[in-house]
Structure formats: structure tokens, C-alpha cells
Amino acid sequence: MANHPPDPAATEARLQGPGVLIRTMKKGTGTKYPKKGDVCVIHYEACLEDGSKVDSSRDRALPLKYTVGQKEILLGLDVAVQKMTVGETAEITIPSFFAYGHAGCPPRIPADAVLIFRAELLNIT
């Protein structure tokens, strides 16, 4: 994952639940937070702690569209996006138990891996 410096006016770290850390890189322009049942559109890049990229919606040039609270994405990412507003970019650290746990997701994600997402909330409907 590229190490982009955060916007000094936007940097804010907050802990959600047991272990999901959200660090705001760029504040959003929206005022609404996603809630269960909303459809969100995000761009993301996912990396392991060593910085190796395991997935990226930007590489596919296709944002991810999903319904909040419907187990369509990793629980840790779902929890974090609910604390973001449209236009916000955040670095999200997700412990393994909110990601792929003991099983991992071979071959790219090993067992018990902490994942670091850089996510941008594009839209909420």
C-alpha cells in the first residue's frame, strides 16, 4: 500500500468495537453516516501488515457496491464504513477475527492476518 501522508487537518484515529482502528486520511463532505440496509459504494485497497497488497477495487477500476449489515463484506470493514461520510478516505486496521480469522484466505491472506484497508466512501443510497 502506498504510504500517503494524511491531510493534517483530517487525521483522526478512532477505535470501533474490539480492535478495528479507523484513521481518517481525508475528511468527507457528507453529513450522513451509513446504517444497516443502506447501499454503499467504496473504493479500497487491502494490504497485509508488511505492506503487500492482496486486493484493490481501484486496480480493477470497479468500486465495490454492497448493502450495510448484510455480511457481503468483511465485518471489520462493514463496521468501519458505518463511521465514515461520503468523500472520506480512511486507513482501517482490521484484526484477523474481524477479517478471515484462523482460516485466512489462501493463497494471498495467511491465517490470523491483520488487514489494513485504505477505503474511500463514494456514495450512500
What was the pLDDT predicted at 16? 63
Task: With beta carbons less than 8 A apart as the criterion, state whether 44 and 84 touch.
Answer: no
pLDDT tens, residue by residue, 60-104: 999 999 999 999 999 999 999 999 999 999 999 999 999 999 999
Give the whole-angstrom CA distance, residue 54 versus residue 107.
10
Instruction: Quick: pLDDT tens for 4-39.
Output: 454 444 455 565 656 899 999 999 998 999 999 999
What is the per-residue DSSP string for the chain? Answer: ---PPPPTTT-EEEEETTTEEEEEEE--S--PPP-TT-EEEEEEEEEETTS-EEEEHHHHT--EEEETTSSSS-HHHHHHHTT--TT-EEEEEE-GGGTTGGG-BTTTB-TT--EEEEEEEEEE-
Q: Is the pLDDT of residue 118 over 90?
A: yes
Could you tell me the pTM of the whole model?
A: 0.86
pLDDT of residue 19: 84
Q: Domain 12-124: state its class.
A: alpha beta
| Average pLDDT of the segment spanning 98-120 | 97
At residue 30, the pLDDT reads: 85
Q: Which pLDDT belongs to residue 1?
A: 47
